[in-house]
Structure formats: C-alpha cells, structure tokens
Amino acid sequence: MSKTPAQIALMAESGRLLASVFGYLDRLNLLGMSTLQVNDLVDNYIVNELKARPASKGQYGFAYAMNTSRNEVVCHGVPSTDDILRDGDLVNFDITLEKNGYIADSSKTYLIGEVSDQARQLARVTYEAMCKGIEAVKPGARLGDIGHAIERHARAHGYTVVRDYCGHGIGQEMHEPPEVLHWGKPGTGLTLREGMTFTIEPMLNQGKAD
C-alpha cells in the first residue's frame, strides 16, 4: 500500500495533468451540452493534448472517459446524448487519468446556470467534508479518524453520508487497498503510514444515507 518517493512523484504528475482537465472544463459553457458531448471533449483532451490515457475507459467494461452524475444520481452515471445539462442542475464529473503507469482519480461538482441555495449548500458542505477528511490524514492516524471527521461535518449540517461507496487506495491500479470509508469511529481501523496513497471522495445526501 505504501509508495516510494519516486512513485509518488509519478503519481503527482498524473494528478497535475488531471487537474488541468478540470481547468479545461472550467472554461467551457456546459449549459445545454449533453454529458456525452462533455465526455468526448474530455477524452480528446486527455489523449491528444495531454498524451495520457483515460483510465476509466475499458475498466470493468466501461466505455467512457468519465462518469457523469447529475442531480439525484449519486455516482457512476453514464454519459448519454439524452442527458442534457440544464439550468439549475448539479452535475459531478468523475475522471481518471493514467500517465507513465500511474493513475490519478478525481471528481468535481459543477453548478449549471442558476442553482438553488439548497443545491449550492449541498455542494459546499460536501466539499468541506472532504477537506475535513483530508485534514485528518497523518502518519499514525487511523482510517476511522477520516470517516469520523467527514460524517461529523455532514451531520452538523443536516446531511447523511452515502455508505454504498467509499474511497480506495490508488497507484498503478485504479482500485487498491485499503477501502476508505467516509464514516467511522475515531481511533479505529488501519493505522496510516507515510507513503500510503488513497482517495477520499465522500458523497452526501439531503435525506437518508441510502
């Protein structure tokens, strides 16, 4: 599960390239586009501009460069010509990228046009909860510390943590040990060591966790 400094440097380069994909998306006017159109633009950008590989494409038989999850779709939404981004939508783009044998995995939620205060707050609190989880990461901490920090922040704002999905280790494979739950008890679970690499990607609901 732990990586060497050289491996982490390669992962950081993949992460830098993936950040540029979101920078590219930030410059687009997404209103009125289909999620398949967005996927095709991202696929082309990764392959032709970054000279990298969309790591999701072909993984588990998936045919696209990204997952596109709009409104009530929690995650793993599939790009489609029928899925049009409309005013007031909340959409999450989950993108992976491989360069030099190492994978980066990240997602970002976009607010399309004029969104409700309720939707805007959900996006904000989810981002804050992720940051709380990241702040809990340090050598000697436990995985349960991460999940506890996330869930405590979510509950403080009246939200629940989706329990069907979790973060995961990452490196040369997209999904490596350990599983990183977004809820938990402090002081429990795997002890974190320097060099571990994993994702923290909480999803929150306005209603029940399921």
Q: Which is the CATH superfamily of the domain at 1-115?
A: Creatinase/methionine aminopeptidase superfamily (3.90.230.10)
Query: And the tokens for 3?
Result: 């990586």
Query: And the tokens for 32?
Result: 């009125």
The contacts of residue 209 (CB under 8 Å, 6+ apart) are 160, 161, 162, 163
What's the pLDDT at 209?
Answer: 60
What's the pLDDT at 51?
Answer: 99
Q: Are 133 and 146 in contact (CB under 8 A)?
A: yes
pLDDT tens digits, one per residue of 40-96:
999 999 999 999 999 999 999 999 999 999 999 989 999 999 999 999 999 999 999
State the pTM of this model: 0.94
Of the candidate CATH numbers 3.40.50.300, 3.40.1030.10, 3.90.230.10, 1.10.10.10, the domain formed by 116-209 belongs to: 3.90.230.10
Given its phi and psi angles, is residue 9 left (phi above 0), alpha (psi -120 to 50 degrees) or beta?
alpha
Comma-separated ranges of CATH 3.90.230.10 domains in the chain: 1-115, 116-209
pLDDT tens digits, one per residue of 9-22:
999 999 999 999 99
